């Protein structure tokens, strides 16, 4: 099965450096194909006030996520497991691509009883039924992906962080 369906980044290579996993993805830049070995990007276009996001553009971003999640759920991969806006990148043509999928062998089970509070913001996209588990499976669930998609949908519609306006009263430091 190819790892490059609609709205998906193509993973070309992976490796480790100083116990950190590095991934190489193919992307297009000015009609020249390049291979980039870099940390994953994010859907930061939402927080850039200089970019006008009319409803047609927002619909396009949402449609790209739907295509990507549908591709994952209907194929061999089955789930994303850690879907959040930081795992969505926008290319130079403003096409949203879902990334950081299909890598459960690189992941450990998430243990929420001893969770590092420096990473607790990542839990905002995690479905409540998965947070209730002592150990979350590395590949997550399709229902959990749908919950995460709902949080991303809220981010796109409001152009705010997850759970806005309640993030001001949450201590995420």
- CATH for 53: 1.10.510.10
Element housing 142 (H / E): helix 142-158
Query: Is the whole model's pTM more than 0.85, yes or no?
Result: no
Q: With respect to residue 5, please indicate whether it lies within any of the assigned structural domains.
A: no
Q: Return the residue matching tokens 């209730």.
A: 132
Q: What is the mean pLDDT of the chain?
A: 76
Percent of the chain residues past pLDDT 90, beyond the cut: 28
According to the model, what pLDDT value does residue 18 have? 60
Min mean pLDDT across 25-34, 151-160, 163-172 is at 25-34
Q: With respect to residue 110, please indicate whether it lies within any of the assigned structural domains.
A: yes
Q: With respect to residue 20, please indicate whether it lies within any of the assigned structural domains.
A: no
Q: Give 39's pLDDT tier (boundaries 50, 70, 90).
A: very low
Task: Answer for the pair 125, 83: CB distance below 8 angstroms, yes or no.
Answer: yes
What is the span of the domain harbouring residue 144? Answer: 40-168
Domain count, the chain: 1
Q: With respect to residue 24, please indicate whether it lies within any of the assigned structural domains.
A: no
DSSP-assigned letters across all residues of 101-158: -S-GGGPPPEEGGG--GGGGGGGGGS-HHHHTSSEE-TT--HHHHHHHHHHHHHHHHH
Q: With respect to residue 35, please indicate whether it lies within any of the assigned structural domains.
A: no
| pLDDT, tens digit (0-9, with 9 covering 90-100), for 63-118 | 999 999 999 999 988 999 889 998 888 877 778 888 888 766 666 656 555 555 56
Q: With respect to residue 69, please indicate whether it lies within any of the assigned structural domains.
A: yes
């Amino acid at each position: 099965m190819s790892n490059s369906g609609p709205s998906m980044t193509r993973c070309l290579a992976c490796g480790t450096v100083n116990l950190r996993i590095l991934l190489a993805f193919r992307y297009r830049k000015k009609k020249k194909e390049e291979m980039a070995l870099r940390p994953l990007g994010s859907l930061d276009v939402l927080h850039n006030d200089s970019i006008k996001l009319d409803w047609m553009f927002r619909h396009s971003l949402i449609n790209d996520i739907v295509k990507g999640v549908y591709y994952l759920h209907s194929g061999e991969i089955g789930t994303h497991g850690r879907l959040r806006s930081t795992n969505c990148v926008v290319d130079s043509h403003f096409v949203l691509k879902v990334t950081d999928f299909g890598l459960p062998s690189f992941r450990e089970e998430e243990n929420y009883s001893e969770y590092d509070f420096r990473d607790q913001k990542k839990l905002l996209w995690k479905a409540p039924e998965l947070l209730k588990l002592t150990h979350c499976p590395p590949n997550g669930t399709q229902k959990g992906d749908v919950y995460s998609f709902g949080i991303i949908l809220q981010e796109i519609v409001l152009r705010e962080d997850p759970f806005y306006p309640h993030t001001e009263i949450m201590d995420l430091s």
